[in-house]
């Protein structure tokens, strides 16, 4: 059964599913749409069709006396639901850190969905509640700014409750409230409101819904999630969920009746941009045009078609109309894109070439290219972000906290765009000129994007391709998902673990345990040992496993398979262990201690990096081993030496401060509310309890690893390397505790050895080194001078030893293991001066390979070319070479073919 059949099923029993008490109380009547056969509820006895077929008749004449701009529309909503017993919850981040199947929060209900095992569960911080949730969606980018109602970022008012928990209600109360919101909150007359019967199918759950419309505009959709399972096999959920989502943009628009919803929802931003760009105001024409677009878009194929249709209707020349509306479309689009970027960057996302960052870079570059195309040089995206903050801070005060971060990122990305623009243009021009443009496949487009940063939108704009292929974004996303999957170390499944009880995890009960007794439950394949309890930490969360001994058997690897910990012992020792036996086990204490120090140091460094660099810094991944640790952070640029040193200093201050590290298990919802989504540095936690590692006053993360009790135990942390490993990700490699001391001692010994070799002291080693370099340079110079002096004499010798070939050319060839290429270049050059019929070929041993030097005298050049010989000979040696007629060079690595190479040279000169 699909959506359609399900809709038919629900609508076949309206009393059970759709008839709510309000309909009876107010005498709404149920009708069947004369066009699409959908059922709807209305007070208007003349209504024959559902609102799907209706024009936006509120444009220019809104059905209410209230005029609410965006922020005021929210204030009314807040007031209404608060008065009716709802908790108003602050918005969740637009970057969806609590679900690993989503980059961005795409609907208000996502706030309250958690994945446990394979199931989606609902967790509500209050009941009932309303949240003004900013949602980001990038699937309709091409309509944004043009249609009057599409956005990449919009506010979904989420009215949510658990019907079966205290405070909850079901459909009667829900629709009564929504009706109250429209009539009292927005001041809309009851007969203007139509409810349409629909269904909603989500992941693992579904229900029926009532969408409500006013004058053709859908304002909200109340979903009654009653069933779990799929459409063919389902049951009533024990905790039914109300998920009503309404567009705040639409609440404002229906009351103002502006030509587009952008005019009322971006507050003063649109007006400011009209002024800043010197755009002509022509409200009447715009109202007419955008009113027509909003009403007709649904029923016309493309914007282009629609535009020419409207031009005809308005009896205005198409180009003239375009000239009028284009600046407005540009202003709307840019305002939308910047607002989306503002929320995303404030919530810690970075524009990049990977993952969700891709979408952000696409819209930023789109906004920049629009500003460029219209010649609006004085308009800066970071200033537009400030305008939005100025307006929205009454509703979202947190935006102001990140104002500087947002400016930093937008400026940086803008300058990068300018830098790459020229190269992008030249590539686009050559693509356009070549016959290949028609054949650009999705793979080609992905290559262009990944290697040159050229978005398909840019190619569309440049007229290289007609449109962005629909599979481009999906394919790109897939590519990046599979890359991350390949990076993760999945445990190889082990057969024979079925039916075993969960292992008791001693390393969580008491992290200090290094010796313990346990019972052997099973030995699989003679090498996998399962105990009833263990203090061995299994590989996980980027932390390497413990090693040690179980009754003398050496433990070489520890992994966790669901709830069972498996100890792999080395082959020779497995036989000692018998099922049912009580064994004594010891964990390698030194290894565990070092890994633990590296692990806690990761947390310290992560927060140090964020404090030093900016709020966009998140842990991308981490790795903790005995000898070193690795922390990948999200950051836009490679780090300077000064930045690395500052992070290091700050981290070591925290270590010296000896902050307590407090580990406690929380209910997941409580932890999220108390510590925010910052806890998910290591990714999503798929359980309903989370283990919170709290470095008091410094860093709070959900983490399952082992940790020191106070930061002082780490002793010292030293970053040994920092490197930008991909767009938007910087890797820090570091050493902590004894590993840091070892590392320093090692470096000190190296330095001492160098000093000794230079006959200097460690204090003066740089001075001595510079002097040694100068000496070496002077010696080289001297040799070159000597060579010049003796070259004449040597060259005469060469000529005398040359072999006369049939071609009249005289060939001198040699393999030299002693003298270097400088020598042969000096001699060869002189020799062909003295003997114009000479060809000089020298193969010179150099490190692992052979250098090839070829000269051809003026006379010889009429028969053979030096470059060609160098190419052939180098090829023989497994390498490559070339040059001009007079001089050629190259090289290869096949030292076993020197003889053949020399013969080949002779062959070539014949």
Contacts of 91 (CB under 8 A, 6+ apart): 131, 132, 133, 134, 396
Residue 718's closest CA among 651, 656, 643, 620?
651
* Candidate residues 5, 24, 29, 35; the one interacting with Zn ion per rule CB under 5 A: 35
Q: Does 604 bind Zn ion (CB under 5 A)?
A: no
Residue 631 C-beta: closest distance to Zn ion, Å = 10
* Candidate residues 3, 12, 29, 36; the one interacting with Zn ion per rule CB under 5 A: 36
Of 694-733, which residues contact Zn ion (CB under 5 A)?
703, 705
Q: Which residues pair with 619 in a beta bridge?
A: 633
Q: Which is closer to Zn ion, CB of 198 or CB of 228?
A: 198
Residue 149's closest CA among 82, 216, 77, 197?
216
Instruction: Report how far residue 742's alpha carbon sits from residue 700's, in angstroms, rounded to the nearest whole number.
Output: 29
Residue 32 C-beta: closest distance to Zn ion, Å = 9
Q: Which is closer to Zn ion, CB of 453 or CB of 705?
A: 705
Q: 889, 852 in Cβ contact below 8 A? A: yes
Contacts of 712 (CB under 8 A, 6+ apart): 655, 656, 657, 658
Q: Does 427 bind Zn ion (CB under 5 A)?
A: no
Q: Which is closer to Zn ion, CB of 40 or CB of 823?
A: 40
Instruction: Report how far residue 90's alpha carbon sits from residue 73's, in angstroms, rounded to the nearest whole number.
Output: 16
Of 786-805, which residues contact Zn ion (CB under 5 A)?
none
Q: Which is closer to Zn ion, CB of 274 or CB of 663?
A: 663
Q: 161, 201 in Cβ contact below 8 A? A: no
Instruction: Report how far residue 55's alpha carbon sits from residue 217's, in angstroms, rounded to the nearest whole number.
Output: 8
Mapped onto helix, strand or coil, the DSSP state of residue 619 is: strand
Residue 271 C-beta: closest distance to Zn ion, Å = 37
Mapped onto helix, strand or coil, the DSSP state of residue 394 is: coil
Q: 759, 769 in Cβ contact below 8 A? A: no
Instruction: Report how far residue 570's alpha carbon sits from residue 16's, in angstroms, rounded to the nearest whole number.
Output: 65
Of 507-526, which residues contact Zn ion (CB under 5 A)?
none
In this structure, what token pair is assigned to residue 135?
Answer: 């949602």
Residue 704 C-beta: closest distance to Zn ion, Å = 7
Torsion angle defined by CA atoms of residues 896, 898, 904 and 905, in that order, rounded to the nearest 10 degrees: 160
Q: Which stretch binds Zn ion (CB under 5 A): 35-43, 212-220, 660-668, 768-776?
A: 35-43
Burial (Cβ within 10 Å: 0-12, 13-18, ≥19) of residue 246:
buried
Q: Which is closer to Zn ion, CB of 135 or CB of 703?
A: 703
Q: Which is closer to Zn ion, CB of 148 or CB of 704?
A: 704
Q: Which stretch binds Zn ion (CB under 5 A): 34-42, 242-250, 286-294, 343-351?
A: 34-42
Residue 663 C-beta: closest distance to Zn ion, Å = 10
Q: How many residues bind Zn ion (CB under 5 A)?
A: 8
* Candidate residues 7, 9, 26, 33; the one interacting with Zn ion per rule CB under 5 A: 33
Q: Which stretch binds Zn ion (CB under 5 A): 52-60, 93-101, 555-563, 581-589?
A: 52-60
H or E segment and range at residue 242: strand 233-247
Of 849-868, which residues contact Zn ion (CB under 5 A)?
none
Backbone angles phi, psi at 622, to 5 degrees: -150, 160
Residue 683 C-beta: closest distance to Zn ion, Å = 11
Exposure string of 539-563, with b = 16+ CB inside 10 Å and e = fewer, is eebbbbbbbbbbbebbbebbbbbee
| Count of CB atoms situated within 10 Å of the CB of 606 | 24
Q: Which is closer to Zn ion, CB of 380 or CB of 668?
A: 668
Q: Which is closer to Zn ion, CB of 39 or CB of 200?
A: 39
Residue 599 C-beta: closest distance to Zn ion, Å = 6
Q: Which is closer to Zn ion, CB of 97 or CB of 824?
A: 97
Q: Which is closer to Zn ion, CB of 81 or CB of 623?
A: 623
Of 299-358, which residues contact Zn ion (CB under 5 A)?
none
Residue 701 C-beta: closest distance to Zn ion, Å = 6
Residue 696 C-beta: closest distance to Zn ion, Å = 16
Residue 68 C-beta: closest distance to Zn ion, Å = 29
Exposure string of 612-630, with b = 16+ CB inside 10 Å and e = fewer, is bbbbbbbbbbbbbbbebbb
Mapped onto helix, strand or coil, the DSSP state of residue 315 is: coil
Q: Which stretch binds Zn ion (CB under 5 A): 12-20, 47-55, 202-210, 314-322?
A: 47-55
Q: Which is closer to Zn ion, CB of 692 or CB of 832?
A: 692
Residue 321 C-beta: closest distance to Zn ion, Å = 31
Q: Which is closer to Zn ion, CB of 152 or CB of 600?
A: 600
Residue 171 C-beta: closest distance to Zn ion, Å = 22
Q: Which stretch binds Zn ion (CB under 5 A): 31-39, 138-146, 285-293, 806-814?
A: 31-39
Q: Which is closer to Zn ion, CB of 70 or CB of 195?
A: 195
H or E segment and range at residue 189: none
Cα distances from 313 to residues 222, 297, 306, 318, 380, in angstroms, run 37, 15, 11, 11, 37
Mapped onto helix, strand or coil, the DSSP state of residue 683 is: coil
Residue 654 C-beta: closest distance to Zn ion, Å = 15
Instruction: Find the radius of gyration of the CA atoms of the chain.
Output: 36
In this structure, what token pair is assigned to residue 327?
Answer: 């600046």
Q: Binding marks (x or -) toward Zn ion, 660..699, rule CB under 5 A?
A: ----------------------------------------
Q: 653, 716 in Cβ contact below 8 A? A: no
Cα four-point dihedral sign 649, 650, 656, 661: negative
Q: Does 50 bind Zn ion (CB under 5 A)?
A: yes
Q: Which is closer to Zn ion, CB of 91 or CB of 610?
A: 610
* Candidate residues 19, 47, 52, 450; the one interacting with Zn ion per rule CB under 5 A: 52
Residue 50 C-beta: closest distance to Zn ion, Å = 3
Footprint of Zn ion (CB under 5 A): 33, 35-36, 38, 50, 52, 703, 705
């Amino acid at each position: 059964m699909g959506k359609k059949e399900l809709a038919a099923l629900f609508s076949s029993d309206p009393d059970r599913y759709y008839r709510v008490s309000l309909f009876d109380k107010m005498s709404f009547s149920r009708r069947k749409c004369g066009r699409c056969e959908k059922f709807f509820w209305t007070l208007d006895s003349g209504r024959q069709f559902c609102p799907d077929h209706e024009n936006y008749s509120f444009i220019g004449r809104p059905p209410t006396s209230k005029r609410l701009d965006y922020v005021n529309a929210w204030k009314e909503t807040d007031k209404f639901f608060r008065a009716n017993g709802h908790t108003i919850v602050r918005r969740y981040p637009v970057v969806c850190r609590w679900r690993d199947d989503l980059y961005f929060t795409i609907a208000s209900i996502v706030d309250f969905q958690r994945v446990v095992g394979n199931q989606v569960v609902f967790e509500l911080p209050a009941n009932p509640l309303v949240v003004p949730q900013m949602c980001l969606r990038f699937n309709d980018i091409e309509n944004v700014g043009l249609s009057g109602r599409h956005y990449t970022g919009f506010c979904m008012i989420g009215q949510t409750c658990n019907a079966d928990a205290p405070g909850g209600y079901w459909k009667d109360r829900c629709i009564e409230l929504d009706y109250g919101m429209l009539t009292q909150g927005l001041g809309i007359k009851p007969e203007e409101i139509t409810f349409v019967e629909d269904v909603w199918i989500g992941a693992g759950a579904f229900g029926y819904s009532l969408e409500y419309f006013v004058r053709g505009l859908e304002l909200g959709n109340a979903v009654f999630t009653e069933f779990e399972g799929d459409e063919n096999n389902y049951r009533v959920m024990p905790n039914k969920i109300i998920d009503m989502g309404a567009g705040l943009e639409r609440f404002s628009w229906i009351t103002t009746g502006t030509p587009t919803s952008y005019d009322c929802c971006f507050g003063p931003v649109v007006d400011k941009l009209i002024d800043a760009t010197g755009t002509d105001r022509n409200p009447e024409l715009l109202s007419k045009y955008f009113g027509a677009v909003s009403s007709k878009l649904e029923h016309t194929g493309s914007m282009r078609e629609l535009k020419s249709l409207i031009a005809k209707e308005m009896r205005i020349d198409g180009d003239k109309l375009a000239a009028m509306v284009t600046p407005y479309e540009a202003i709307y689009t840019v305002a939308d894109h910047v607002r989306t970027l503002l929320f995303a960057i404030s919530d810690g996302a970075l524009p990049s070439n990977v993952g969700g960052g891709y979408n952000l870079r696409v819209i930023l570059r789109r906004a920049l290219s629009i500003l460029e195309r219209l010649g609006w040089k004085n308009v800066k995206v970071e200033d537009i972000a400030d305008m939005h903050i100025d307006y929205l801070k009454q509703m979202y005060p947190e935006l102001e906290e990140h104002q500087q971060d947002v400016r930093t990122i937008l400026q940086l990305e803008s300058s990068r765009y300018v830098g790459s623009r020229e190269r992008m243009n030249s590539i686009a021009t050559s693509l356009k000129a070549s016959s290949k443009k028609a054949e650009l496949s999705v793979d080609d487009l992905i290559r262009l994007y990944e290697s040159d940063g050229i978005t398909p939108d840019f190619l569309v704009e440049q007229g290289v391709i007609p449109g962005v292929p629909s599979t481009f974004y999906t394919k790109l996303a897939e590519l990046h998902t599979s890359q991350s999957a390949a990076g993760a170390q999945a445990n190889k499944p082990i057969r024979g673990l079925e039916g075993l009880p969960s292992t008791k995890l001693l390393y969580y009960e008491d992290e200090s345990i290094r010796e313990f007794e346990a019972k052997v439950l099973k030995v699989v394949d003679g090498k996998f040992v399962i105990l009833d309890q263990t203090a061995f930490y299994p590989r996980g969360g980027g932390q390497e496993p413990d090693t040690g001994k179980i009754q003398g058997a050496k433990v070489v690897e520890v992994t966790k398979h669901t709830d069972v910990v498996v100890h792999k012992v080395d082959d020779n020792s497995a036989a000692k262990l018998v099922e049912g036996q009580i064994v004594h086990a010891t964990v390698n204490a030194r290894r565990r201690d070092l890994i633990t120090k590296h692990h806690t140091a990761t947390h310290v460094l992560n927060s140090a990096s964020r404090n030093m660099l900016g709020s966009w810094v998140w842990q991308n991944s981490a790795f903790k081993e005995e000898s070193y640790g690795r922390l990948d952070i999200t950051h836009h640029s490679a780090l300077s030496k000064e930045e690395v040193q500052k992070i290091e200093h700050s981290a070591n201050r925290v270590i010296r401060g000896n902050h307590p590290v407090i580990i406690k298990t929380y209910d997941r919802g409580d932890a999220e509310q108390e510590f925010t989504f910052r806890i998910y540095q290591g990714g999503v936690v798929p359980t309903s309890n989370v283990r919170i590692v709290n470095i008091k006053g410094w860093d709070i993360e959900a983490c399952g690893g082992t940790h020191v009790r106070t930061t002082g135990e780490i002793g010292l942390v030293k970053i040994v390397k920092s490197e930008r490993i991909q767009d938007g990700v910087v890797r820090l490699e570091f050493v902590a505790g004894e590993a840091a001391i070892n590392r320093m001692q090692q470096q000190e010994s190296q330095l001492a050895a160098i000093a000794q070799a230079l006959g200097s002291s460690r204090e003066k080693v740089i001075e001595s080194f510079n002097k040694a370099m100068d000496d070496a340079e002077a010696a080289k110079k001297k040799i070159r001078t000597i060579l010049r002096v003796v070259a004449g004499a040597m060259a005469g010798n060469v000529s005398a030893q040359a072999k006369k070939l049939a071609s009249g050319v005289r060939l001198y060839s040699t393999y030299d293991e002693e003298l270097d290429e400088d020598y042969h270049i000096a001699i060869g050059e002189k020799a062909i001066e003295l003997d114009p019929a000479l060809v000089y070929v020298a193969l010179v041993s150099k490190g692992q390979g052979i250098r090839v030097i070829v000269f051809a005298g003026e006379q010889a050049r009429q028969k053979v070319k030096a470059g060609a010989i160098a190419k052939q000979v180098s090829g023989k040696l497994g390498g490559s070479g070339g040059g001009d007629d007079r001089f050629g060079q190259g090289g290869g690595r096949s030292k076993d073919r020197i003889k053949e190479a020399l013969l080949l040279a002779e062959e070539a000169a014949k």
